[in-house]
Amino acid sequence: MPDSDKPANPVTFPPAFLWGAATSAYQIEGAVREDGRTPSIWDTFSHTPGKTVDGDHGDIAVDHYHRYRDDVALMAELGLGAYRFSVSWSRVQPTGRGPAVQKGLDFYRRLVDELLSKGIKPAVTLYHWDLPQELEDAGGWPERDTAYRFAEYAQIVGEALGDRVEHWMTLNEPWCSAFLGYASGVHAPGRTDPAASLRAAHHLNLAHGLGSTALRSAMPARNSVSIALNSAVVRPLSQDPADLAAARKIDDLANGVFHGPLLHGAYPQSLFEATAAVTDWSFVLDGDTAQINQPLDALGLNYYTPTLVSAADPAAKGPRADGHGASEHSPWPGVDDVAFHQSPGERTAMGWTVDPSGLHELIMRYTREAPGLPLYITENGAAYDDKPGSDGSVHDPERIAYLHGHLSAVRRAITDGADVRGYFLWSLLDNFEWAYGYGKRFGAVYVDYVTLERTPKSSALWYSRAARTGTLPEVEAV
């Protein structure tokens, strides 16, 4: 046959590659007042008028707390090898301090046992944005004490689950916790204090360091301790020196503020210079960066879309197109002289540009930043306006194309020398999408929010074939 008619070489992954899916506690569990759980900042925020679309909240979410066995059975049917979930801090330690509530821990013990019984590896994230409200009332992440409370919490969960869970992440996307929560206010707790957001970023870093030490003291040495960063792929609009300087500032605030101390034991000097008008960084005490710079067993990378920036035109007015929600307050403290631009190309329902090349770029950056450190893609996925057809099935070809493109980028990075060991699709289930409420569907499994019935979308069936065979099916295959 002509060369143009021959099928492309199949994209095949190494045999040990881990195929998983991810969720977070507040987005799926529900049962917010059961078995001793107390409010987190997301309970408070979502029940504050005007903070979420349609006033949506996670009181019931998708009721995973009561339906976890069915959800694990569904994962097994799809052939998933791993499941990344987060623990609700206020379900385990309601005030953020003191002894654990055993009923809360028991839920996660049952979940882990159910996963293991189906041959699915559990991967635990200790913190996915749901700080106990009592700790926020005491000052939240801008207060140093919160990092020490996190270490105590990490010790509790590590002792309870460390004998059966090998993969651990301390924090998920600390950038969002610090800057969307305390600078722009579009995430809980909804504060708009630029200096507080930088203090929060440092104390989240410190929490990771202290928490890593606590986990390792509580668990077998074989276990892996990591963190999941939503590091940005920052691109300048042009090679003009002013645009390059703008990209450097955003790179420092998106990436260097975390991977500087985590990987290299120091914050970038250029970050201090860019934010000097906001804070003097005196909250960084002697020994902090050494504590943060704990050995990592792996690094989790979350990726959705690249970030395109330039120097700002002082005469230009309009919304900030950084993809992080609408607010009069910026999540980028000290850098009001930077403009954000929509990257060209197809967009998801979030308005985010689909660009798999950014994922390859991100992986290769951290292959250089931390040579020899195993990488996992801990979140990657897309929201689309999914709707059931007349036969009840949910066909989502856009998401299949998205997954094929991004997984192909992962495989290309492996070919280029990156040590990527697994991929966690975001998300297993349609769920509460934070301030967007239930209007944005990221799930591979469709959830009817009235009946809570689960229906695997065609993307779930496509991903199932990839997970079972280690080879990406054609985009048209469902």
- CA 328 to CA 314: how far, in whole Å? 16
Q: What does pLDDT average to over the chain?
A: 96
Q: What is the pLDDT of residues 380-391, one digit of tens each?
A: 999 999 999 999
What DSSP line would sit under 156-193, residue for residue? Answer: HHHHHHTTT--EEEEEE-HHIIIIIHHTS-SSTT----
Residue 230 structure tokens: 């939503």
Q: What is the pLDDT of residues 114-173, one digit of tens each?
A: 999 999 999 999 999 999 999 999 999 999 999 999 999 999 999 999 999 999 999 999
Torsion of CA 374, 383, 401, 320, to 10 degrees: -80
Question: Which residue type sits at 346?
Answer: E
Mean pLDDT score, 232-241: 98
- CA 258 to CA 202: how far, in whole Å? 8
> 477 pLDDT exceeds 90?
no
Which helix (DSSP H) or strand (DSSP E) does residue 369 occupy?
Answer: helix 356-369
> 357 pLDDT exceeds 80?
yes
Mean pLDDT score, 324-336: 94
- Residue 2: per-residue pLDDT: 45
- Residue 292: per-residue pLDDT: 98
> 4 pLDDT exceeds 70?
no
Residue 87 structure tokens: 């623990």
The 3-state DSSP class for residue 244 equals helix
Q: Half-sphere exposure (CA, 13 Å, Cβ side) for 65?
A: 23
- CA 262 to CA 243: how far, in whole Å? 27
Q: Give catalytic residue positions.
A: 173, 379
The 3-state DSSP class for residue 142 equals coil
- Residue 8: per-residue pLDDT: 64
Greatest CA span in the chain, whole angstroms? Answer: 71
Could you tell me the pLDDT band of residue 320, with boundaries at 50, 70 and 90? confident
> 372 pLDDT exceeds 80?
yes
> 1 pLDDT exceeds 70?
no
Could you tell me the pLDDT band of residue 319, with boundaries at 50, 70 and 90? confident
Q: What is the pLDDT of residues 16-75, one digit of tens each?
A: 999 999 999 999 999 999 999 999 999 999 999 999 999 999 999 999 999 999 999 999
Residue 166 structure tokens: 């090998």
Residue 163 structure tokens: 């004998």
% pLDDT > 70, the chain: 97
* Crossing angle for the helix pair 145-161 and 102-117, to the nearest 10 degrees: 50
Which helix (DSSP H) or strand (DSSP E) does residue 40 occupy?
Answer: none
Strand duo 307-311 + 338-341: pairing: antiparallel
- Residue 18: per-residue pLDDT: 98
Q: Are 150 and 112 in contact (CB under 8 A)?
A: no
The reported pTM is 0.97
Mean pLDDT score, 402-429: 98
Distances (CA, A) of 294 to 94, 213, 254, 316: 28, 8, 20, 44
> 478 pLDDT exceeds 70?
no
Distances (CA, A) of 323 to 29, 348, 353, 404: 26, 11, 10, 23
